[in-house]
Every structure is written in structure tokens, then in C-alpha cells.
Structure 1
Amino acid sequence: MSQKTRFTKSAIAVAVAIVSTQAWSAGFQLNEFSSSGLGRAYSGEGAIADDAGNVSRNPALITMFDRPTFSGGAVFVDPDVNVSGRSVIGNNASQDNIAPTAWVPNLHFVAPINDQFGWGASVTSNYGLATEFNDSFAAGSMGGKTDLETLNLNLSGAYRLNNSWSFGLGFDAVYARAKVERYAGDLPQIIGANIPALVRAGQLSPQQAAAVGAQAGGISRDTQIAHLKGDEWGFGWNAGILYEVDKNNRYALTYRSEIKVDFDGDYKSSLPATLNPVNAALGLGLPYGTGGSTIDGSLSLHLPEMWEISGYNRVAPKWAVHYSMAYTSWSQFQELKAKGDGGNTLFYKDEGFKDSYRIALGTTYYMDDSWTFRSGIAFDDSPVPANQRSISIPDQDRLWLSAGTTYAFNKDASVDAGVSYMHGQHVKFEEGPYQFKSEGKAWLYGVNFNYAF
């Protein structure tokens, strides 16, 4: 098959890739559940118990609190992600600032029952993203608009076995809302330019070529080739173990289960339904055309399980170090497939994710009864293989640099502030008939208020 023919098949096929690979990658797995954690790059979170927010990471930490404690706040995410690229026919496919700013709120409450038992509750967001390309963007079939919001409601309890061992178990209810839009971009031009190659290769008859060419010629760049919107609940659990050598040294193992979210929502495509038989006959992978009509669609999304080991050591009266390593089983996410009520495949994409890890190291300085200072560094390993990257979120390995502080007004009330700089590597990749370069960075700012009753 010629290079042009391969590009043409790819161009037609990628029009069906409504939800990009990165819509459910590390780019949408959030750590921002507390501002104190932000200030130390979320290092040692399973073993630190300086505010109620840590309990959402490890329910066993509930036993570290001797009175009811509240924490509430938000982290502001300010990303700067730019994409430059060209299509196979030479059109510019570049856009700056594809990711908008966002707020990630959090609420936490912990209450001991007695010396052995306690419970806690939290409201956080463990997953979320938003990317926005112009409707007339040349690679609109790859980019478009992607918006995922989640709300995680957690209820947990803990039991202290003795002075060394504590165990915790929690229940997670996750509400997810997703909206994805893709646009034709310059795909009609690419298809039209390569129809002769398809005819020569015997993939299209002259009659089919004329029909496809006429239909492609009537599709403008800002034609919405796919729109999918839905919301649903998913359920899972988390557990943690805390081992205390003494009051200054402790270690933790935590686990968060896989959560399956079965979306049932609305799907529509402005592509004419008359293209569907051609797609089926030739196996070109076109999105299912509805001529602008709305039909029911369903998609199963598997949010991966995660393991984390953490440690906290107070190495001097005023100094502590903390560290962690998290392992996320992203290899559970191998495909993305949406189907209609009639069994029609609305779109399909082979994902091929790999498991990923995150390592973090930080330090805390307890200056006096009023001021605490912290810092941290972390490395996020991307779960997306180089040949699977996509411009929706051109996922990449990331380095975190963080700093933060806590000011205690008295023994009951305090405020946390944290800031992180997240730097992603520059990457080059191909997606369908497009070649891209991308670079990204982000600043994160967080504030939380804490109160012990």
C-alpha cells in the first residue's frame, strides 16, 4: 500500500477517535486533594497526619487524630500547554493554551469514636481534565473539546490494633460527567486529495469514489463530526495500613480499587448516514453518521487501581523527611469503545496503556508553634506509550517542584498554602495524518483552612 493510501485510511479512521487516548491518562488522574500535600509534592501522604486531608489517601490515619478535625479548601490549576503541527497535505495544525484553568475543591472531616475506632468522610476529585481547540482547528478530529469532571464521595473507618498497627477501610462513590466534541478540520481535504490513490489500490470503486468525494466536499472544517455527552456513578473502595515504629517514624501501604463507570448518554454526528454502508463495506472506521440526529450511546470507562507505599521520619526535633511511591495499573485500560442501542460501534480506539509510577520526596521544617514550612520534588511517569500520544492531552513525563507553609492561629485553627510548578518534557509524535510537537507546564496554587473541635 502506498504512503498516501496509508494516510488516507488513517485520515478516515481517525475521524472516529472521538475521545482521545489522553482523556483518561495520567493527565486526568488528580492528586490535588489538599494544600499541605501540594506544598510537599504529595510526598509521604499515606504516613503523614498533619491535617484531615491525609485521611482521603489512607483511612488508617484516622487513628492519629484525638478530636474531630475539619479541613476545606481548593487548588487552582493554571496550565500552559501548546501544540504545533502540520497535516500530511501541509496545513498548519498549531494552537497555544489548549488547556483552560480549573479549580479542584476538597472537603474533609475526621472524628474519633474512642481510642481504637474512628471514622472520616471526604469530598474530592480524583480525575478531571479539560482541553479546548478552536472549532476550525485543522486537526479537529484529534482535538476538539474534551471535558471530564468527577466528584469522589468517600466514607471510611479505622481500627487501631495496638500502639504500632492501624487499619482503615473506605467506600468510594464517584460521579463522573463527560462531554466530548470533535470537528472535521481538514480531513475532508485530505480524503479528497487521496481518493485517486484509494481507487488505484482497489479500495474504492469509481462510483464509490465519486460519492465519497461529493460528500467530503460538502463538509466544512467546523462541522461537528461527533458529540458525546453523559454522566454516571461508579463505585469502589480503598484501604490502608499504618505501622508506627514510634511517634517520629511511621510507614504506610494504601490501595485504591478500580472503579468502573458505565456511561449512558447522547451521541450525534453531522456526518451523513449514507456513509455508514460504505464504512461497513470497506472497514474504514468512520464515525457512525447520524445526519445530526441524537441517538443513545454507551461507553464503559475503567478507572485503574492504585498502590502506594509511604514513609515519614522526624529526623530532628524540627525536621522531618517524607517519601512515597505510587503504582497505577493503567494497563487495565486497553481500548475505548462506544456503542449505540442497536449494537452499532460509534467509535473504537486501541489504547495500549502501560502501568505507571510516581515517586516523591519532601521535607518539613517545624519552625515554632505558629509556622511550619515544607517542600518537595516528584516525578510522574506517563502511562501512554510514545506511539499512542494524542493532542487532546499530549501526555508526557512530568517533574514537580513544590513549596508550602502552615500558619497556626492557635491550637485549633490553621491555614495551609502551597504552590507547585509542574514541568513536562517536549515530545514529538504522529496522530493519524498529522505530525505534532508539544510542550506543557503548569502552576498550581492551593489554600486550605483547618479546624479541630
Structure 2
Amino acid sequence: MSRLSRSLTLAAVSLAAIVVAQGGAQAGAFAIREQSASAQGYSFAGAASGSGNLSSMFWNPAVITMAPGWQTELSLSLIIPRVDINPLPSVPTFVFGSSGDIGQDAIVPASYNSYQINDMLWVGLSSTSPYGLVTDPRDNWAGQVYSRSSKIFSLNVNPVVGIKINEWISVAAGPSLQYFDIRLKRAAAVTPGAPSVTLDGDDIGFGFTAGVTLTPFAGTTIGIGYRSQIDHELEGTVTSPAGRIPISSDLTTPDQLTIGISQVVTPALTVHAGFEWTNWSVLKTPLVVGPGGAVVTDLPLNYDDGFFYSLGFDYKLTDQLTLRAGVAYEESPIDTEIRSTRLPDNDRIWASVGASYQWNNKLSFDIAYTHIFAKETDIRILPGHQDYEGLPFVADVNSDVDIVSVGLRYRWDDPVVAIPAAPIVRKY
């Protein structure tokens, strides 16, 4: 099999793996941060400066120039959320009970491929699922007029070209093709057994990624990466007891800026830090339009921007085994003024540990575990709230998340091994 054929086969397998998976949002709002098993071990500290090895391409494509030869990295994350919405006794529908656990376990795969053409030029391809959400309360519960099930699925393919300008600066950029699918369901009435109203829509949109890495001093790497907004013109239907009508809606996924720094402290110890800004405020309130341009409903989002701060380190215990750990604080784009029963998100703390094992000079494995501690959360859908439909709904939310990720990296070509210089033989 030729190198080109093998690369195309790897891309097809990666795409197939992502298509069969359902993503669970475990970054702010409905984003999925779990794109790298190695970076997760640091709580994604330094993800833009290469702490995630090749998978750092997701945050900063310029890190591709740090991967010599021909490489592939695959990761698989199991997300286990627990989210319960418990209405207060003052809620008129309190008798219908709590939501039950609305969190749905999810498996999120990602794949990355890079090929070094020469000393200056690299090409690569990533296949990821940057957005996803699955929440599924009991069909009959106190908040059913605000939500039954919710599902968001995405697939993003991103080819990139990286250029190593000199020993201290590299740049990269590439287009993104993104499939986005949404399905939202709610009850048509407060009574148990009421029929559902369902909104479906999907679209393919285009954007880009770009980035730069800087190495101002030996042992210091700074990375800056950007993922653009992607406009989606969703086409689909609204299905209700009255029938089904075609609809459309314009929705824009946010752009994102990530900054990372990695500093070698000793030959065994490296410290990483990261900052991430996500422009969630671009979402606003998309209108859902039916035949003839009539507004059927809207999707009131109106999120704030999201921020993520992280700090981590790795320690090379042996030539083969590297240990890592990290913590992060995430400012959610959702607060009590707009918090919904579909996505009761809030600020949270990440705590992670991980390890890498270098099996040989071609193959290595990664594993990581994260626990997310959510801030005390409440829902207050009262007059003036953007979701208010005439039914006051006040509830407390209990939530936490466990994430386990595994990954592997493989180098397809033979690494160049430095040959010691022959001893100088002098003849006298």
C-alpha cells in the first residue's frame, strides 16, 4: 500500500469512528474539549504549545511542525456525566417529579495525521467532534414543557499546512469543513403523557484554523491558536401535534483563541500553562423560520463568552514512562439569568492525572482521568427569563463528571537515529 493510499485509509477509518459516536458536551455550553488523551492529563494546560503532542493540532495547527516524519495519533474519551434537576416544592408541577439523571454517557473519538515533506513543510489532517450534547430527562417530569431530550452532534475535518520558518517560529493554517446536527424535544403540555414538539435541523459549514509556535529560548515554547466561527444555515422540520412543517435557522458556532506556554525546568520536569477564550456571545437568539419566511419560534441562547485557565506539569520518571497532572478553572458562558433545563451549565474546576508509555521508538500510549467539580447550580425560569412559557420553574441542579481517555501515537516511517561520530585516529 502506498503512503498516499494508507493516509486516505486512515482518514476514512477516523471519519467512520467519529460518525458512529455521540458527543457529550464537557466544555462550556455545548463544546467538547476532550480531543486529546495526552493534553487531558494536564487539564489541557499547554495544549496550544504542544503538551498534547500531535493532537495539539486541534487548538493550534502550528504544532504539526514539532512532529517529525509521518505520524498518527488517535484518542478515545469516555465521558460519564451525572446531572439531576430537582424542582422546589413551590413549582406548580412539582408533583410530577425530578428529571432523573439527564446526563448521557458518551464516547468521543479524535484522530490526527501529519506528514513531514521536508525540513520546512508539513501537511496534516484532523477529524474531530468539536460540539456535542446529549441530555435526556424522564419523558414525564416537572419541567417537561421546557425540555425533554436534547441532542447536538458535529463532525469537523481540518486539513492543514505547516511551515517551519526558522528554529524559533512556525506557522500553520487550513480550512475546516463542519457538519452540525441538532434535535430538540419538549412536551406540548404540562400533563403526563403529553405529545412532544420536536425541532430537527442540520447543515455543513466552512471555516478555518490558524496558529503560530514560538521558541524564544531553549526549553520555552509559546503557542497561539485560532479556530474561526462557522456559519450554519440549518434546514429541517418542526414536528408537533398539529403536523410537520419545514424550517430553517441561521446558527453560528463560536470562534476560539487558545494560548499555551510550556517551560522545561529540568531534563525530567516540564511545566505547562494555558488560557482559552471562546466567543459564545456570537450565538444570540437564532430565529426559526417556516414557509414564506414566517417566524415559527426562536432559540434563545444569548450566552456570555467562556474562559478557561489551566496549569499542569509532566515528570519523566524513566525513559519510557512520563507522569502528568493538572488543574483548571472554567468560567461558563451560562449563568442563572439564562440557564435552561436543557443545559444547566455552570463554572467548574477540573482535576486531572495522566501518563504516557513509550513502547518503542514508533509506538506510545496515553491514558488520562479527569473529575469535574461543578459549582452549586440553580435554575430560575420566572417572568423575565428568556425561556419563560407561563410556567414558573425553580430547581436545584446536582452535577459532576468523570472522564477517562486513552490514546496512542504511531510513527509510520523509521526515526532517524543519530550515529555517534567515529573516533579520531591519529597516526604519528
Provide the rounded CA distance (Å) in 1 between the counterparts of 2:366 and 2:275. Answer: 24
Q: CA deviation at 1:331?
A: 1.4
Describe the superposition over 1:184-240 as per-residue Cα deviations: whole angstroms up to 9, x where unpaired. Answer: 352xxxxxxxxxxxxxxxxxxxxxxxxxxxxxxxxx433234111222111110110
- 1:148 is matched with 152
Alignment of 1:32-51 (within 5 A): 32-48=34-50, 51=53
2:63 match: secondary structure: helix
What CA deviation, in whole Å up to 9, does each residue of 1:361-419 have, x standing for no partner? 00001112210111110111111232100111101001100000011111110110011
Whole-angstrom distance in 1 between the partners of 2:50 and 2:178: 25
Q: TM-score, normalised by structure 1?
A: 0.80
Q: Which moved more, 1:23-32 or 1:338-347?
A: 23-32
Structure 1 alignment gaps of length 5 or more: 1-21, 187-219, 271-290
Aligned partner of 2:228 in structure 1 is 257
Q: Does 1:438 align with 2:397?
A: yes
**Are 1:294 and 2:298 an aligned pair?**
no
Q: Which residue of 2 aligns with 1:3?
A: none
Alignment partner of 2:167: what SS? coil
Query: Is it true that 1:312 corresponds to 2:262 in the alignment?
Result: yes
Contact 1:49 1:64 in 2 (8 A): no
Matching residue's letter, 2:100: D
Give how far 1:160 is off: 1.3
In the other structure, the counterpart of 1:407 is 357
Structure-to-structure mapping, 1:47-446, within 5 angstroms: 47-48=49-50, 51-86=53-88, 88-89=91-92, 91-92=94-95, 93-186=97-190, 220-270=191-241, 291=242, 293-431=243-381, 432=388, 433-446=392-405
Shift of 1:51: 2.8
Aligned-pair distance for 1:50?
A: 5.6
Deviations 1:4-56 (A, max 9, x none): xxxxxxxxxxxxxxxxxx99982311111111111111110111266321122
- 3-state SS of 1:159 partner: strand
SS in 2 for 1:387: coil
* Aligned equivalent of 1:30: 32
Alpha-carbon deviations, 1:69-111, whole Å to 9, x = none?
1111210000011110146425244123111100000111011
Q: Tell me: CA distance 1:104–1:25, structure 2 relative to 1, closer, same or farther (3 Å).
A: closer
Following the alignment from structure 1 to structure 2, what is the Cα–Cα distance between the partners of residues 238 and 55?
Answer: 9
CA shift, 1:59, in A, is 1.1
Contact residue 25 and residue 395 of structure 1 kept, 8 A: no
Q: Higher mean Cα deviation, 22-31 or 233-242?
A: 22-31
SS of 1:316's equivalent in the other structure is coil
* 1:240-276 CA-partner distances (Å, limit 9, x unpaired): 0110124411101111110111110121111xxxxxx
More helix as a share of residues: 1
Tell me the amino acid that sits aligned with residue 293 of structure 2: G
Q: How many aligned residue pairs are there?
A: 378
Q: Residue type matched to 1:262 in 2?
A: E
Contact 1:117 1:158 in 2 (8 A): yes
SS at match of 1:106: strand
CA distance in 2 between partners of 1:264 and 1:247 (Å): 51
CA distance in 2, matches of 1:307, 1:38: 18
Distance in structure 2 (CA, Å) of the matches to 1:89 and 1:139: 10
TM (norm. structure 2) is: 0.85
Aligned CA-pair RMSD: 1.8
Distance 1:222 1:260, change over 3 A: farther
Taking the aligned partners of 1:230 and 1:335, their CA distance within structure 2 comes to 16
Aligned counterpart, 2:406: 447
SS in 2 for 1:378: strand
Which structure has more relative contact order (CA 8 Å, sep 6+)? It is 1
Partner Cα distance (1:439, 1:179) in 2: 24
Q: State the SS of the aligned residue for 1:393.
A: coil
Letter matched to residue 452 of structure 1: R
